[in-house]
Chains A and B, each alone.
Chain A
Amino acid sequence: MTVGLFIPCYIDQFYPGAAIATLQLLEKLGVKVVYPPKQTCCGQPMANSGYEHLTTGCNELFIDNFSEFDYIVSPSGSCILHIKDHLHSEGRENEAAQVRRKVYELTEFLTDVLKVDHLDAVFPYKVGLHQSCHGQRGLKISQMTELVAEPFSKPVQLLNMVKGIELIPLSRQDECCGFGGTFCVAEEAVSVKMGVDRVSDHLEHGAEYITGADMSCLMHMEGILRRQGSKVKVLHIAEILNSSVQ
């Protein structure tokens, strides 16, 4: 099995730690991982702004880079959802359909494909899990509180394998953090208020770290935490699952 590693543009540029942890974690679990060097972005920033028609270049590039792999894995639920829902190609729709079928967000790849039931990770801290909307409601990596259905959570299933970790409860389990791509600047006031409220929920319940499967939400909450001068840190879930005894 060969996995193509897709590192979204903003993770590449701002959060290489999350990408390195993803790579190391997959390798630790015995997966052969290849990082195609010519990758850029899934095209979501344009598409969510109403410019899906400008994403042809991104789509073609994505197919060029990734169609050869058995699986495509990425530490971002949001970007994976975009590929799954919106990747198309006029000339290569068959290949596009295959790509859409074999993309996985990291945690669902670990639980559903690798069927990981044990990790050597240690992380002795109080951690709040942010359920990012696109991973949760889009990819359904966790059950959603709106539905009358059995609860489950792939990220929680994995975090529970980490030694020493204490997952804190939240008052609102799956409320949006307000990032929303260009929403965060176009609707600055509401976006910030949503972020402030989300962060407060974690702080009130004693989180030392906030984690999640989407770095963009964490980037948003980090921006607020740092402005507040808080010592609480954000960490991509891959970094916790990849952490080892110090």
Chain B
Amino acid sequence: MSTMPTKDHAELAGQFNADENRVDWHDETLWWIRQKRDKAVNQLPEWELLRETASKIKEHVLSNLGNYLEAFEANALANGVTVHWAADAKEHNEIVHQIIKNHGVNRMVKSKSMLTEECHLNEYLAENGIEVIDSDLGERIVQLAKEPPSHIVLPCIHKKKEEIGDLFHEHLGTPAGVSDPQILTETARQHLREVFLTRKIALTGVNFAVAETGEFVVCTNEGNADMGAHLSEVHIASMGIEKIIPKREHLGVFLRLLTRSATGQPITTYSSHYKRPRSGQQMHIVIVDNGRSVQLGRKDFRNSLKCIRCGACMNTCPVYRRSGGHSYHNAISGPIGSILAPNLDMEKYADLPFASTLCGSCSNVCPVKIDIHDQLYKWRQVIVKAGYTTKAKTASMKMMQWTLSSPGIYHVAGKAGRMVMKYAPFAVNNALNPWYKQRDMPKPPAESFDEWYKKNRGKK
């Protein structure tokens, strides 16, 4: 199903780094968003309390998920909504397809939903003769480019405006060479207006599903979810099981955190509540597991389900900023993607928890306080124990273990040529040594500290 290459993060990041100016531009663009976030959160003296509160609410939800899901379903049903349960991506896609077929149409408009990216819904529906148009501007751009989004909030952040101008020229008929954002946005607006008016089915994501009322909240800056849903005959909302919050009043915590973390705005332009279908309209909610209940059962990783998809961990991640979202070869990229993906396919995503220096900045910006960098460390242990590592790496680690577990061997090895030089992979000064390619080796000193100490302070 996936169209992503099987190359690993390091290789894809290496390709991204072939164009240093582009890396600088990407890094600075995302850093600018991190700075906007800093400015916004520093205006709230209660910021850290808000994060703690949100984290605790989500913790409570995860500990009582079954009950809340049932309550949500009962209330949604009472509101006149049809509720579907999907165990995995395949079931989700089949359910959506069936709803479309039942309505006798072959095209649909869709607002932003990372869950449908995760399920590869667009590809599935295309194979079944259904055309989907993404109505979020960034999503539409990557869709025209036949690429997956590179960021969960800013899907085409990897594209420069000139490249978007070329795409619009090719697909939407703007004059060649036009890259003025105002003109491009207006073109997209007119193009999407026609789509909204003619599509009978609209799919949206769900940011928050309120258990006590059965309503759900969709946050967008463009109002595109509203345009699609309100003009449709059928509104389908896809949500992961972790989107639940117990009460409507909890939105007072989450809506304040979400966009400040994501883009530095105080709140999304549209935070729309959907509760019941209008007269004559159908409303469907598809509640999707797709590995989430497995993750919930992993003690060390269950907190990852607190994620509200703000993307702050990506914007702050020094690795993400310099490797680009596509290097993570997963629908959700960056630090959060790296702790979610191995749950879905440990072999395919074995590289992702290693695509980090464990600097910890992600955990600090996370509005729901997921211990992202600690989970990256823990995934590394799980992945190695499960055998998704190379024989060469295991051999070098065992050699290191043998040397470092014995002071005698360590000091002899050190003397004989500086042990680290010998066994660490960055040891040798040649082109095959990845350290030496762009960095000089430390100059080995005349004597180690151990030798100096024996000479100067020794009392043998």
Contacts and interface: CB of A to CB of B under 8 A. Distances in A.
Interface centre among A54, A57, A189, A227 (most CB of B within 10 A): A189
Given A51-B401, A182-B425, A194-B322, A219 B13 contact: no
Interface of A: 7, 9-17, 19-20, 23, 35, 37-41, 43, 45-58, 61, 133-134, 137-138, 144-149, 172, 174-176, 178-197, 219-220, 222-224, 226-227
12 contacts: A13-B414, A23-B453, A50-B380, A50-B384, A56-B405, A134-B360, A146-B364, A176-B359, A183-B357, A190-B17, A193-B20, A222-B442
Contacts of A7: 449-450
Interface string B296-326: 0000000000000000000010110011000
B434 A185 contact: yes
Given A16-B448, A37-B454, A54-B401, A175 B318 contact: yes
A25 to B, nearest CB: 14
Interface majority SS (helix, strand, loop, mixed), chain A = helix
Contacts of B319: 187, 190, 194
B439 A195 contact: yes
B393 A49 contact: yes
B355 interface: yes
A185 B426 contact: yes
B10 A189 contact: yes
B458 to A, nearest CB: 9
Interface in B350-366: 354-361, 363-365
Contacts of A223: 435, 439-442
Given A37-B453, A148-B45, A219-B442, 4 more contacts: A7-B450, A10-B420, A178-B318, A187-B354
Contacts of B322: 190, 193-194, 197
A227 B448 CA distance: 24
A57 B316 CA distance: 36
Interface of B: 9-10, 13-14, 16-17, 20, 23, 27, 31, 38, 41-42, 44-45, 47-48, 316, 318-319, 322-323, 354-361, 363-365, 377, 380-381, 383-385, 389, 393-394, 397-398, 400-401, 403-407, 410, 414, 418-421, 424-426, 433-435, 437-442, 444-445, 447-450, 452-454, 457
Contacts of B449: 7, 11-12, 16, 19-20
B410 A224 contact: no
Nearest to A176: B359
A190 B441 CA distance: 18
Given A13-B419, A176-B359, A43 B426 contact: no
Contact of A190 (B13, B361, B398, B444): B13
A20 B435 contact: no
A24 B78 CA distance: 75
Contact of A188 (B14, B356, B360): B14
A41 B411 CA distance: 11
B457 A51 contact: no
B263 to A, nearest CB: 16
A175 B361 CA distance: 8
A12 B400 contact: no
Contacts of A195: 439
**Residue picked from A15, A186, A190, most chain B C-beta under 10 Å:** A190
Contacts of B457: 35
A220 B323 CA distance: 19
B448 to A, nearest CB: 5
The 7 closest A-B pairs by CB, nearest first: A57-B405, A180-B357, A223-B439, A50-B384, A146-B364, A50-B380, A137-B360
Nearest to A178: B357
Contacts of A181: 357
Contacts of A53: 381, 385
Contacts of B13: 187, 189-190
A58 B405 contact: yes
A2 to B, nearest CB: 15
B358 A185 contact: no
A49 B355 contact: no
Contacts of A13: 414, 418-421, 444, 448
Nearest to B23: A193
